[in-house]
Amino acid sequence: MKLTKCIYLLLCLPLIGLAQPRLPKGYFWKKLPNGLEVVVIENSKVPLATIEIAVKNGAYTEGPEFSGLSHLFEHMFFKANKEYPSQEKFLKRTQELGAIWNGTTAEERVNYFFTFDKDSLQAGLKFMNAAIRYPLYRVEDMAKERPVVDGEFQRNESDPGFQLWYECQKKLWGDLVTRKNPIGDHNIINTATPEKMMVIKNKYYLPNNSLLVVCGDVSHDNAFALVEQIFGSWESSGFDPITKYPIPEFAPLTKTEYLIKESSIAETPYLNYWWQGPDTRNDSVSTIAADVFNTILGLNSSKWQQALVNTGLASSAGVNYQTSKYVGPVNINVVPNPTKLKECTDEILKQISQWQNDDYFTDEQLEDAKQTLRRNNLRQLEKPSSLPGQLTYWWCSASYEFYVDYVNSCKAMTRADIKRYLSKYITNKPYVAGLIISPEANKTIKAGSFFK
């Protein structure tokens, strides 16, 4: 009872970074005078080091005129810069360092990482510094990379699941849909210019909007000294970009909407249901409750799985929540039995209507879900090179303390917390429901007669 109360109160506090944040054992934090936050994770499991830098940038910073350009920017990161003035020289240097490297773009974070031998730490930090601070954005490089980024978009469009997701997002987020769509817009991607890349760089790629993580078989004192020596001259903007360029608040859904998309590539029907869920700025407790409840629904013994999968109404039925600082979506993904589509959709709504019932899950299932989340967390800690990515995600979308307390917060969740979450965000609340189906199948099934 005492643990529950303490965790609940902690999660209700505003997510304001402390002067010296709480971090796990072996994690060391420092903030440079220019505002760059640095975390060193000492982990000597393997003689390697990983450097990752994360920027508070991504789809949520993009109005329609910039949709997808954070993702293009990520690709351009691995091109020419002042120190390596061609991609060939850039790639040659990665080979010399023996580096494994990549980057990702999501709604609330863009991150880049290099993993290499621990003896290359100084050289790796210099390499990262050149890429993040001194990109060239050569016209010829952009001409090559625009089709690559747009090609990713086109490959996604060949997936019926993506097609359905894309249509549902338009209804879920309305005029602000670009701020939840990292893949972007074909036309914006294909007409991007070096000047637009510089707009993004000058607004968001700043030391006071970034987190640098060094993880591996390293000494934190040595790593801090190297980082300050190499990154210390990176000039602060003097302002918080997210304050100067505020993220618009997403308008709440006012009505439930259904859509049916016919597509020849949908060999089997696919169902989505979407709600606007909690976020870490306003309701951290419910973000944890959503994770715990969805884990309960994923148990083979759950009423949800028993009613949909075990009866043969669906081959899979997942419920997910994405932790976010700006309205995290809750979604149901179901692959229904094509011969029982109406029965499946009826059963989905029936189950949702019962989620708040006292007997919908047992105490044992609640405990099983908490232990599942604990074990998942332990597995995530096994690979040192993955630790920076976990930390930077939570830094961008929550806080260091949220990350540190996550497992204990899950353990502290009660039935009352879950009921509150469901009542506030799901039960009798507007949602977006989508179905993708082939034209041929729909001629027989006539989904529009019941999916509405």
How would residue 19 be classed by pLDDT, with cut points 50, 70 and 90?
A: confident
Q: In whole angstroms, give the CA distance from residue 263 to residue 163.
A: 9
Residue 201 has pLDDT above 90, yes or no: yes
Q: What is the mean pLDDT of the chain?
A: 95
Residue 6 has pLDDT above 50, yes or no: no
Mean pLDDT throughout 250-279? 97
Give the fold, CATH level 3, of 32-244. Answer: Cytochrome Bc1 Complex; Chain A, domain 1 (3.30.830)
Per-residue pLDDT of 60-69, as tens digits, reads: 999 999 999 9
53 - beta bridge partners?
A: 112, 212
Mean pLDDT throughout 344-371? 98
139 - beta bridge partners?
A: none
Per-residue pLDDT of 396-419, as tens digits, reads: 999 999 999 999 999 999 999 999
Classified as helix, coil or strand, 112 is strand
- 257-449 is a CATH 3.30.830.10 domain: yes
CATH 3.30.830.10 residue ranges for the chain = 32-244, 257-449
How would residue 185 be classed by pLDDT, with cut points 50, 70 and 90?
A: very high
Mean pLDDT throughout 137-161? 95
* Rounded alpha-carbon distances, angstroms, from residue 133 to 194, 231, 386, 391: 15, 9, 24, 22
Per-residue pLDDT of 81-124, as tens digits, reads: 999 999 999 999 999 999 999 999 999 999 999 999 999 999 99
Per-residue pLDDT of 303-332, as tens digits, reads: 999 999 999 999 999 999 999 999 999 999
How would residue 14 be classed by pLDDT, with cut points 50, 70 and 90?
A: very low
Residue 5 has pLDDT above 80, yes or no: no
User: How much is the pLDDT for 230?
Assistant: 98
pTM, to two decimals: 0.93
The maximal CA–CA distance of the chain, rounded, in angstroms, is 69
Q: Identify the CA nearest to 60 among candidates 165, 177, 145.
A: 177
